[in-house]
Chain A
């Protein structure tokens, strides 16, 4: 066994263990802040797996999008809304846990079945494209995957506009949840400087 293969096996096992333990920690830990940071660690390890598969561009994109944007925003939201309140005990927690466990086990068995029945076409190291994959991804995004790519960006735009509408309540005359007219006096206009009104 050559040194390169040994290194690869060591990296793969370390990354898999980190992903498994980290993902369990995200779900099982009580503290939401720890869960959020562990989620970042899981994203990083997945990027490491992509690197092992010779997909360096996908790995860097994973770090940029999932760690640099998604995870930072999650942590940001947690820290801005960091209320220390005791959660109310839920009455029928047992049945809820049984239902969620059975759903998860069913999903897992489905995935395992797909894994076992599907014939995976394993590419040999000789015909892997390596560094050229960046160009291939670009070609695919602007030819046969153009429509999904554009639809995804429209979806993100819609989400962004929706978030702005929800955050700036002064653009709506009625409250969404209650249907009552919004009291415009109560809305802070923080974007305007305080002193300019007092002339």
Chain B
């Protein structure tokens, strides 16, 4: 069912109207969605930083940022500007090349993963066939950047922080991938668009969270661990390691780590909403609303309405999850390293394996509910 707005097609037709060849039109089109998603990601980070400041203030009975703009909404921009104009320091005994390459290697895979985040039927950069697998593969590059910056800083706290970060993200990648695999098993496809369409049958009732409650919890815990959010922020545990692998960093290089971790948080929230909460789907199917209003599903009004509702729903679900993550950060204590590894290897891994097996069994037993 190929419905919905196809902006690329209309844009190309529009340019061809001026006598341009289809190849040139395609090249002009290519950077537009990428820029749009990049801007969306950065604005999302600004909003998340503001939310983090305000919610942490509320959790500790403070007021939080107040003077920069109404309710302090301009505070994250002030933070960003400050980091932008600060002196860029490379410590004297540090390894200059690796020290610079580390933050880049941390940030680039996270931004590349936005390639597969859909905000609507055709509202994504590229509907690649390997979809969600691309995200799993890309997120496995990150530990190299962390190890690199930890090593290059020439500081024992940095090295320990880098090693902890890599160990953590390796051990939580496996249950994460296994819980994604259960979803893929139900969808028969790796593509994120197909995963959302599979959940769009009966509105809120057909969301994957009801069929995969265990997978949802495992995925959420692992996503928090991959983002190094509290209760799993051991790599930068300030009481033990100063700031972990970020200790020696200042200015824009520090800002890259900061940006990377927040973009990763938003990305994880978006992926949880895509995999388990129906993505861009409205709790009541849009087809029912169209039938109620006596409008054909292909009318321009319904099309624009569907697209805007899709974007709003995706962002709303993602920010609900971001809110939970922030609340968790300011209300839970940190786990110890042995508890962290025990939880990952002795609890989440067997549970996600069992979840995968049960999903496969249920798929064979009830193909109409668990994807035939």
> For residue A40, which residue of chain B has the nearest CB?
B144
Is B318 an interface position by the 8 A CB rule? Answer: no
- CB contacts (< 8 Å) of A46 on chain B: these are none
Contact between A56 and B27 (Cβ–Cβ < 8 Å)?
Answer: no
Contact between B144 and A67 (Cβ–Cβ < 8 Å)?
Answer: yes
> How many angstroms between the C-alpha atoms of A37 and B128 in the bound complex?
28
Chain A contact-residue range equals: 20 to 34
Contact between B130 and A134 (Cβ–Cβ < 8 Å)?
Answer: yes
Contact between A131 and B129 (Cβ–Cβ < 8 Å)?
Answer: yes
Contact between A2 and B23 (Cβ–Cβ < 8 Å)?
Answer: yes
Number of A-B contacts (CB under 8 A): 71
Contact between A79 and B129 (Cβ–Cβ < 8 Å)?
Answer: no
Those of B96-128 within 8 Å (CB) of chain A: 98, 128
Contact between B140 and A3 (Cβ–Cβ < 8 Å)?
Answer: no
Is A27 an interface position by the 8 A CB rule? Answer: no
Contact between A37 and B140 (Cβ–Cβ < 8 Å)?
Answer: no
Contact between B144 and A75 (Cβ–Cβ < 8 Å)?
Answer: yes
8 Å CB contact of B151 from A33, A40, A72? A33
Contact between A72 and B143 (Cβ–Cβ < 8 Å)?
Answer: yes
Contact between A60 and B141 (Cβ–Cβ < 8 Å)?
Answer: no
- CB contacts (< 8 Å) of A72 on chain B: these are 140, 143-144, 147, 166, 170
- CB contacts (< 8 Å) of B144 on chain A: these are 37, 40, 67, 71-72, 75
> For residue A63, which residue of chain B has the nearest CB?
B137
Knowing A57-B133, A60-B134, A131-B129 are in contact, say whether A76-B141 is a contact too (CB < 8 A).
no
- CB contacts (< 8 Å) of B137 on chain A: these are 60-61, 63-64, 68
Is A69 an interface position by the 8 A CB rule? Answer: yes
8 Å CB contact of A57 from B130, B138, B143, B148? B130
- CB contacts (< 8 Å) of B138 on chain A: these are 63
- CB contacts (< 8 Å) of B141 on chain A: these are 44, 63, 67-68
Mark B150-170 against chain A: 1 for CB-CB distance below 8 A, else 0.
110000000100110011001
8 Å CB contact of B23 from A3, A61, A64? A3
A132 to chain B, nearest CB (A): 8
- CB contacts (< 8 Å) of A67 on chain B: these are 140-141, 144
Contact between A79 and B140 (Cβ–Cβ < 8 Å)?
Answer: no
Knowing A37-B98, A76-B163 are in contact, say whether A56-B128 is a contact too (CB < 8 A).
yes
A58 to chain B, nearest CB (A): 10
> How many angstroms between the C-alpha atoms of A63 and B143 in the bound complex?
13
Main secondary structure of the interface of B (DSSP, over half): helix
Is A90 an interface position by the 8 A CB rule? Answer: no
> For residue A78, which residue of chain B has the nearest CB?
B151
Knowing A67-B144, A71-B144 are in contact, say whether A60-B163 is a contact too (CB < 8 A).
no
> For residue A67, which residue of chain B has the nearest CB?
B141
Is B173 an interface position by the 8 A CB rule? Answer: yes
> How many angstroms between the C-alpha atoms of A79 and B151 in the bound complex?
8
- CB contacts (< 8 Å) of A37 on chain B: these are 98, 144, 148
- CB contacts (< 8 Å) of B151 on chain A: these are 33, 79
> How many angstroms between the C-alpha atoms of A56 and B138 in the bound complex?
13
Mark A35-75 against chain B: 1 for CB-CB distance below 8 A, else 0.
00100100010000000000011001101100111011001
Contact between A79 and B147 (Cβ–Cβ < 8 Å)?
Answer: yes
Is A80 an interface position by the 8 A CB rule? Answer: yes
> How many angstroms between the C-alpha atoms of A63 and B128 in the bound complex?
16
Those of B19-49 within 8 Å (CB) of chain A: 23, 27
> For residue A130, which residue of chain B has the nearest CB?
B129
Knowing A3-B23, A37-B98, A72-B166 are in contact, say whether A64-B136 is a contact too (CB < 8 A).
yes
> For residue B127, which residue of chain A has the nearest CB?
A131
> How many angstroms between the C-alpha atoms of A79 and B129 in the bound complex?
37
Is B190 an interface position by the 8 A CB rule? Answer: yes
Knowing A56-B129, A63-B137, A76-B163 are in contact, say whether A68-B147 is a contact too (CB < 8 A).
no
**Footprint of B on A, CB under 8 Å?**
2-4, 33, 37, 40, 44, 56-57, 60-61, 63-64, 67-69, 71-72, 75-76, 79-80, 130-132, 134
20 contacts between A and B (CB under 8 A): A2-B23, A3-B27, A4-B23, A37-B98, A37-B144, A56-B130, A57-B129, A67-B140, A68-B141, A68-B143, A72-B140, A72-B144, A72-B147, A75-B147, A75-B166, A79-B150, A79-B162, A130-B129, A131-B128, A134-B190
CB-CB nearest 8 A-B residue pairs: A68-B140, A131-B129, A60-B137, A64-B137, A63-B137, A72-B143, A56-B130, A3-B23
New contact pairs (19) apart from A33-B98, A57-B133, A68-B141, CB-CB < 8 Å: A2-B23, A56-B130, A60-B134, A60-B136, A63-B137, A63-B138, A67-B141, A67-B144, A68-B137, A68-B140, A69-B140, A69-B170, A72-B140, A72-B143, A72-B144, A72-B166, A76-B147, A79-B162, A130-B129
